[in-house]
Structure 1
């Protein structure tokens, strides 16, 4: 925890005073710009598929490869946060993010791999900055403030991915003129505004950012790094190939997943026997931290189970424009932004168990009707359901994060954050790949014969819509199963853990 003067003025690691409010604002705004990249391409997927001439199984790689690289980098973040200056880590991470955004913006439509490489660069940067944000906040604020602080952080972790589809739809609707500059109606423009936000924040960080997280001279264990990258990389890569290659592909799906699990097991065993582990997985010996992390991963899977597929459903089944499909999701995103800080404040008073039970119940109730959507379901009804789901998500996400971190000693915050964030990103990557594959496979096996398109175009169109509905119903049903599983596990959570937690060098 940062040391403080008698008057309560916070000091950085060099003993210089700094403004917590300015640093908190810069971190939240910059991380919001990075997290916006996680889901903003969901609404733009049909446009990307058309411009790059790729199928859904290939197009979804823009999201799954982002999550894959993000998941690989997060375990490394614990070492980076412990070893290097907070200020320089942020500056380097956001410089990488800017380069990745620019590369995606300028990628030629004949080079899908260039676009994917740009997405990977963005993911590497977010994989450093997102968990670092959590570590910095844990070290800037006391446990008594953690619920409210994590609720504010929910504006980034929850709201940015939730508002991404609406933002992309707005961009793709028409040309926009802002301050005399014309934003073209193109998926490329999606990257421009975040690039501007990152540029401004980067310059301000040069002035205001300080070294807050305690550093020590730890050596990099290259074998652990290699095991981490290979293990999580192969595991997630196998899942990203499911949609395009199918579950029965031995070389690109089954073997990578099995090899990834085996290497991760070796990695975990090695970390448990190291004096200074690369990633301290012993944090999972804390039952409250482990259970809370699992429940939070399920909440992410339940959220992504609908959030990634709903824009496609709205555009392909209802024929809506990208903007209209994005606006359908906007109230839910706003709900997330409103409820997250309130849920964080409520956590400080009532604990995580009650909030999780109520939140998952609302989430499940809001998801059930999605399984029965039709081609004529009113858009406003879908908007209400989606808003209800996001209300439930907001009630559980940040309280679960705060509970997980409060279950650990403050000196474990960097490794706890890395472990917690890794579980969340791995869950997100797996569920996006899983749902894309399930949806695509069901549509492929249910679609009418190509000959019907010539003999009876109207019948072909109707049968094709029914095939799409079956695929989307299956993905929504999986989203419901994650919500129900999370509800069951929430009954085993503890109430308040911060009260009995031993403070380590911090302000109580």
Structure 2
């Protein structure tokens, strides 16, 4: 993607003294979303849809492939592990390969994984296919964010980021509902067979119409950094995921080992920053607004993932809804979140972030507190309303936070900032999932031992887990109060990095 030498302001010179050419996005304000963003959004929509489309298929997979529930969960755990291991490399990758090359590499990897999953004869092959899919997905999201920050003028970023939010929030909401419909009429293989031709068409047309943004900067990859990043972030996510299986010693050991590898990764990056070739440039953390946005996003994402895991359990295990009914009930919230995205973006462009982020943070707390009161006979309309409130509040938070955080960085750090955001999302997802599942199962198991019925015990466990999520979300409100209304601009790219 872009380097500090190739992302200079209009009319400025590169570090070698040659004048940079002005990109169309910087030469004139676009009247709509730039075409390069439209194609990247379409591709990202497909890969994110695929990420959640397997949720309702686990019972079917357990029967067809003769596997346990624990093994089936690995289809999601392995996806998260791969994302956590690969995303740290994307900052380096996006700076050294052109937009079209990065796009084709990511989508081709995703297509290979999808085709392999559709034809998988065994669970092991299906698991490997999901890992391949995740490798492609890990590149697409940072590629979209980095390109957006590069080609869209600051005055339009809120609006365009809102349009991106439309796709990125509707996709995961549609995944469970789409899979519920497909599984009513056919095999789980249809989930991949439906995605494959659509993804292939978007890949082909998008590659033909995409234009490269900026110029790639050649450089060697530091393989020690790649290995310790994979071991560190992958080990941390894996350790956190193991807590949901009721273990303690093994997860703790994995987490400690993961943190040790991450410490080695950090020290290595600080050393490489002096030579100008870090895998992930940690100088993004020297920008206060970006760091606050990173923290707020991680906590909000943790709360969101916790609710996404717990609510289907409540609806199916306590209320007895089918996977399809569950998917349809939570779909309006995701659609509302997506449809609100463009409006949130326009408000951000006009009024700044605080008018959105602070009320949105309060809304997250109120919604999660509301979920602590659900019972065996709570009206579905009330559950739907609480979920819509949570989704709308998250929409009010995510678009401004992403835009403020990345907007506070100099252009040559966009890819590294996007990479760190993506990595922390995976860690937050794993931590949030492990925390709420551990609280739920521990509370429920304790009640069962005292003679409480299984369903009643599960309901109390779910309420306890929702209380934990609500308590964590209070930190979102605290951090939101410290975010600036507009991005605090850097003095410009640091030369000689």
Alignment partners' CA distance in 1, 2:456 and 2:215: 57
Over 3 Å counting, the alpha-carbon distance change for 1:120 and 1:96 in structure 2 is: same
SS where residue 453 of structure 2 aligns?
A: helix
- The answer as to 2:478 corresponding to 1:465 is no
Could you list the per-position Cα deviations for residues 452-492 of structure 1 after superposition, in whole angstroms to 9, with x for gaps in the alignment?
xxxxxxxx9x8111122123223322321232111111111
- The answer as to 2:108 corresponding to 1:77 is no
Displacement of 1:166: 2.1
Alignment partners' CA distance in 1, 2:63 and 2:74: 15
* Partner of residue 44, structure 1: 57
Alignment partners' CA distance in 2, 1:381 and 1:101: 38
CA contact (8 A) 1:306 1:475 kept: no
* Partner of residue 139, structure 1: 150
CA contact (8 A) 1:170 1:322 kept: no
* Partner of residue 244, structure 2: 243
Alignment partners' CA distance in 2, 1:340 and 1:27: 17
Query: TM-score, normalised to structure 1's length?
Result: 0.86
* Partner of residue 262, structure 1: 260
Could you list the per-position Cα deviations for residues 17-65 of structure 1 after superposition, in whole angstroms to 9, with x for gaps in the alignment?
xx97432221111110101122233333444445445555443332222
* Partner of residue 112, structure 1: 123
Alignment partners' CA distance in 1, 2:198 and 2:492: 36
CA contact (8 A) 1:56 1:440 kept: no
Q: How does 1:10-409 map to 2 (within 5 A)?
A: 10=23, 21-54=34-67, 56-108=69-121, 111-172=122-183, 174-175=184-185, 184=186, 186-246=187-247, 248-249=248-249, 252-274=250-272, 275-276=275-276, 277-409=278-410
Give structure 2 stretches of 5+ with no counterpart.
1-6, 12-20, 26-31
Alignment partners' CA distance in 1, 2:471 and 2:84: 23
Could you list the per-position Cα deviations for residues 386-416 of structure 1 after superposition, in whole angstroms to 9, with x for gaps in the alignment?
0110000000011100000111111111111
- The answer as to 2:474 corresponding to 1:484 is yes
CA contact (8 A) 2:103 2:207 kept: no
Displacement of 1:430: 2.1
Alignment partners' CA distance in 2, 1:259 and 1:129: 29
Over the aligned positions, Cα root-mean-square deviation in angstroms equals: 2.6
Could you list the per-position Cα deviations for residues 285-324 of structure 1 after superposition, in whole angstroms to 9, with x for gaps in the alignment?
1111111111011111111111122122211211111111
SS where residue 264 of structure 2 aligns?
A: helix
Displacement of 1:9: 9.5
* Partner of residue 411, structure 1: 412
Query: TM-score, normalised to structure 2's length?
Result: 0.88
Over 3 Å counting, the alpha-carbon distance change for 1:448 and 1:463 in structure 2 is: farther
Over 3 Å counting, the alpha-carbon distance change for 1:147 and 1:57 in structure 2 is: same
SS where residue 311 of structure 1 aligns?
A: helix
Alignment partners' CA distance in 2, 1:81 and 1:264: 21
**Range with greater deviation from structure 2 (322-331 or 475-484):** 475-484
SS where residue 64 of structure 1 aligns?
A: helix
- The answer as to 2:423 corresponding to 1:422 is yes
Aligned residues: 471
Over 3 Å counting, the alpha-carbon distance change for 1:140 and 1:286 in structure 2 is: same
Displacement of 1:262: 1.2
Over 3 Å counting, the alpha-carbon distance change for 1:309 and 1:428 in structure 2 is: same
SS where residue 146 of structure 1 aligns?
A: helix
Over 3 Å counting, the alpha-carbon distance change for 1:30 and 1:232 in structure 2 is: same
CA contact (8 A) 1:2 1:10 kept: no
Could you list the per-position Cα deviations for residues 429-465 of structure 1 after superposition, in whole angstroms to 9, with x for gaps in the alignment?
222233334334444444479xxxxxxxxxx9x8111
Over 3 Å counting, the alpha-carbon distance change for 1:51 and 1:384 in structure 2 is: farther
Over 3 Å counting, the alpha-carbon distance change for 1:44 and 1:375 in structure 2 is: farther
CA contact (8 A) 1:39 1:308 kept: no
Displacement of 1:284: 0.6
Alignment partners' CA distance in 2, 1:309 and 1:46: 17
**Range with greater deviation from structure 2 (281-290 or 422-431):** 422-431
Over 3 Å counting, the alpha-carbon distance change for 1:469 and 1:479 in structure 2 is: same
Could you list the per-position Cα deviations for residues 260-283 of structure 1 after superposition, in whole angstroms to 9, with x for gaps in the alignment?
111111211221222221110111
Alignment partners' CA distance in 2, 1:481 and 1:54: 36
CA contact (8 A) 1:68 1:429 kept: no
Give structure 1 stretches of 5+ with no counterpart.
13-18, 176-183, 450-459
Displacement of 1:72: 1.2
Alignment partners' CA distance in 1, 2:397 and 2:442: 32
Could you list the per-position Cα deviations for residues 234-283 of structure 1 after superposition, in whole angstroms to 9, with x for gaps in the alignment?
1111112222252x22xx31111001111111211221222221110111
Alignment partners' CA distance in 2, 1:346 and 1:473: 35
* Partner of residue 457, structure 1: none
